[in-house]
Structure 1
């Protein structure tokens, strides 16, 4: 899951920066969060690891492989995920376009929109260090402050938050526990030295999943 989440996070960032044909308050809110991220630095770090680290290149190759393609299909077949994407589209954020750009990059199936009415020195550090280096660049305090500001000042952002908060995340738990492809990915991440179990505990605690 720790490998999947950076991919989805990248997609969400892409969603926020895709230009809409018409501006909306939610799009403006998301743009403000993206503006806090040092994308040039994050891109430079990611490219450096890709060019100099064999483990990171193997991880990228995995993301372009059949097992991850199956995980991708499983995640985006969930109605709860589609509901979130449709909500973003309704608010003028081109979520499907951004995710399909990512799908093209990874060589996985594009996500077909559902009608709303239908509902450079050589590195030897590896994948875990890439994740930690990128996370270290994220301005957590500034993002939290902006989140609190938006929750108190933006009706559109609060509505989006409430929509996410009302989502039945137990469907994610079912996929999380039953997908052999996800379990296989967790094993690969452990082999790379990623602290998967700690991360899974954080996810389970956040969504109040059973143990």
Structure 2
């Protein structure tokens, strides 16, 4: 089959060998195609001979991965360093299917649907680690004032003394545990409200 950037194909995922829908991004120096798995958000690569054409009916379901941004912070330098990305992956258990709690803050206009801006909380020792605040503590990020954050209804920037979350790994053992209530799940781009709609402040569960 012929492949071009932008094509949606069936591709094996290196983590489990199963087949998933993927968008072809670019041709890599090693001759493999750079892939974005549209239903769970991971990147990967595969040789052209490993890719397969998708039937049209497999494209009727909206892509399940939703592009998001982390609210209230920005990189401490001009862009996110590789070490910052590694720290984020470690804090969130990227590609390990660990549940995260997310607070929906605002929406950035995007195509084909608004892009949510979230605060993320990772369970650690029975408590909630504020991922943005931990990136600040580690020196990878700086807080963004609410008026500079994206969209109306933005969350307050994560700080070390945020009352409803654990913001530092150093406090995880000594602080009393907190529990989060049951929260609804949001998983489809089509379920997101319009960027001009009032932004809910409820917590949602991201898996």
Question: What's the TM-score once normalised by structure 2's chain length?
Answer: 0.24
Q: Give TM-score, length-normalised by structure 1.
A: 0.24
More strand by share: 2
State the structure with bigger RCO (CA 8 A, min sep 6), 1 or 2. 1
